[in-house]
Structure 1
Amino acid sequence: MKTAKKDLRRGVLRRLNGLSDAAIQDQSHAVKQHICRSDIYKHSTRISLYLSMPLGELRTDELARQIISDGKQLFVPITRTQGQPPRNTHSPTNAHKTMSMLNIPSIDQLETLNRNKWGIPEPDLAQAHTLHDALSPTSPGLDLILTPAVAFDGSFNRLGHGMGFYDGYIKAATRHADGFALHPPTILGLALVEQILHDITLPTDTHDEQMDAIVTSEGFKWSVK
């Protein structure tokens, strides 16, 4: 299964590398418009959103600014692949993988985030100690989780980059909501149309999480569960 996933990643990433900057920007703007006009967005106040890589991925900078401008709480990922997470995080962790979602309260703070080794804006350790964690014991958690992927299939399965960050985080966020007797967060996969695999069913394992909906420049496609 690991080999099959690696081969699929390579094929999709080659396709994405051929996209023009203008094509990615146009699709990113369209996805932002679809999300901000949706009922699920209007009814959500606590939203986690990935901050995008410089190349080969749907861009989220415009959407991130809009979430803050709309008076909603924006939570962005901080990831660590070795050692321990910042002391105020409450997400599952081991010696190899951890991801938490931290609140960025202002556009100014959003736009001054440093970029990590993948070129992704991310809170640094010093900032992380002062930012609110979405899954802290007193937090009601998240209403909406907007996830990246390498690809999605027609059955709402997600192919990530192989680190397992989002699968683990979605499970943790669902357990957190259960502890507050709240509805679990809605999980939306954001994608360029070139990331949708129409004729392939992704290989999945028991830990892989399905999306509630996938959003592309063509609009929402909702899962029937």
Structure 2
Amino acid sequence: MTSATAVATAAMTAATSAATAAAPKAAVSAVVKQKRALRKQIRAALTSQPADARALASRQIATHLLALPAWQAAHHVAIFLSMAHEVDTAPLVQAAFDQGKRVYVPVITGQAMAMVQLRDQSDYATLPKDAWGIPTPSDPENRVHAGLAENEAVLDLVVTPGVAFDRTGRRIGYGKGYFDRFFTSKTNLETTTRVAVAFADVQLVDEVPTEDHDLRVHAIATDKGVIDCRGSATASDSA
């Protein structure tokens, strides 16, 4: 092989390697763009919903979720506290306390999220609101945490937020990855049931674009019924 041929061959090999390496990055970039576009579209639809329609649908969603065997059997439940345009989770918090369950809510510090326990309904009612209007405990260091170590409370069920979902359980959140990281970084959450809540006509789509780190939910409670994303007999699919 001549020197020129060797140089040309090396250049072609380098170009092929670069193209091969660039292909997955391009694919990921395309998925990210698709997720951003879908997130923007659904968020606009959520904020345009009339308040009375959102309130009615939220009550219907709560009714369906509370009928799930996984909820009824749960002793420790985590519930995200909702923003104004989301499914109202206040009825779920109230029901959990009424049923004697231990209730945990998310607290975000930097890039990390923890689940901390609410003491009672009065504690929940007096939580200060953060910049997004979400009730948030201001003293997480003084509260019981769940899912941080093997000897701490294991969450039986987590009511999981999201912007868009499909019937296989794929979800798009708000782009920060807090819930995905929470579940993948804990060693005692393998048996935790993840249930999303969603407005059927607004947040359900045919297919959600996802990346490798995106976790699926096990069920989606909507105002039209519950979608069992695992295909089990623990939920009815009437949505």
Q: TM-score range by the shorter chain?
A: 0.7 to 0.9
Q: Distance in 1 between matches of 2:140 and 2:226?
A: 33
Letter in 1 for 2:196: G
- Residue number in structure 1 paired with 2:116: 102
Alignment size in residue pairs: 199
Aligned partners of 1:159 and 1:202 also within 8 Å: yes
Q: What are the residue-to-residue correspondences of 1:184-195 with 2, within 5 Å?
A: 184-193=191-200, 194-195=202-203
Please list the CA deviations of residues 21-41 of structure 1 after superposition, one character each: whole Å capped at 9, or x if unmatched.
011111111111112222111
The answer to whether 1:129 aligns with 2:141 is yes
- Residue 146 of structure 1 and its aligned partner are, at CA, apart by 0.7
- Residue number in structure 1 paired with 2:88: 59
- Residue 172 of structure 1 and its aligned partner are, at CA, apart by 3.1
Question: Alignment RMSD, CA only?
Answer: 1.3
- Residue 117 of structure 1 and its aligned partner are, at CA, apart by 1.0
SS of equivalent to 1:59: coil
List alignment gaps of at least 5 residues for structure 2: 1-30, 232-239
Q: Distance in 1 between matches of 2:230 and 2:193?
A: 13
The answer to whether 1:151 aligns with 2:164 is yes
Q: What are the residue-to-residue correspondences of 1:1-225 with 2, within 5 Å?
A: 1-54=31-84, 56-81=85-110, 97-124=111-138, 127-137=139-149, 138-173=151-186, 175-177=187-189, 184-193=191-200, 194-198=202-206, 201-224=207-230
Letter in 2 for 1:61: A
Letter in 1 for 2:127: L
- Residue 141 of structure 1 and its aligned partner are, at CA, apart by 1.3
Please list the CA deviations of residues 87-113 of structure 1 after superposition, one character each: whole Å capped at 9, or x if unmatched.
xxxxxxxxxx11000000200000111
Please list the CA deviations of residues 133-163 of structure 1 after superposition, one character each: whole Å capped at 9, or x if unmatched.
0024321310001101011012210000000
- Identity, % of aligned pairs? 26
Q: Identify which range, 134-143 or 110-119, moves more after superposition.
A: 134-143
Q: Distance in 2 between matches of 1:35 and 1:103?
A: 21
Aligned partners of 1:68 and 1:105 also within 8 Å: no
SS of equivalent to 1:115: coil
SS of equivalent to 1:57: coil
Letter in 2 for 1:130: N
Letter in 2 for 1:59: D
- Please identify the structure whose Cα radius of gyration is greater: 2
- Residue 66 of structure 1 and its aligned partner are, at CA, apart by 1.2
Q: Distance in 1 between matches of 2:173 and 2:215?
A: 10
- Residue number in structure 1 paired with 2:3: none
- Residue 13 of structure 1 and its aligned partner are, at CA, apart by 1.1
TM-score w.r.t. structure 2 length?
Answer: 0.80
- Residue 120 of structure 1 and its aligned partner are, at CA, apart by 0.6
Q: Distance in 1 between matches of 2:175 and 2:107?
A: 17
Q: Distance in 2 between matches of 1:15 and 1:45?
A: 35
Q: Distance in 1 between matches of 2:127 and 2:51?
A: 22
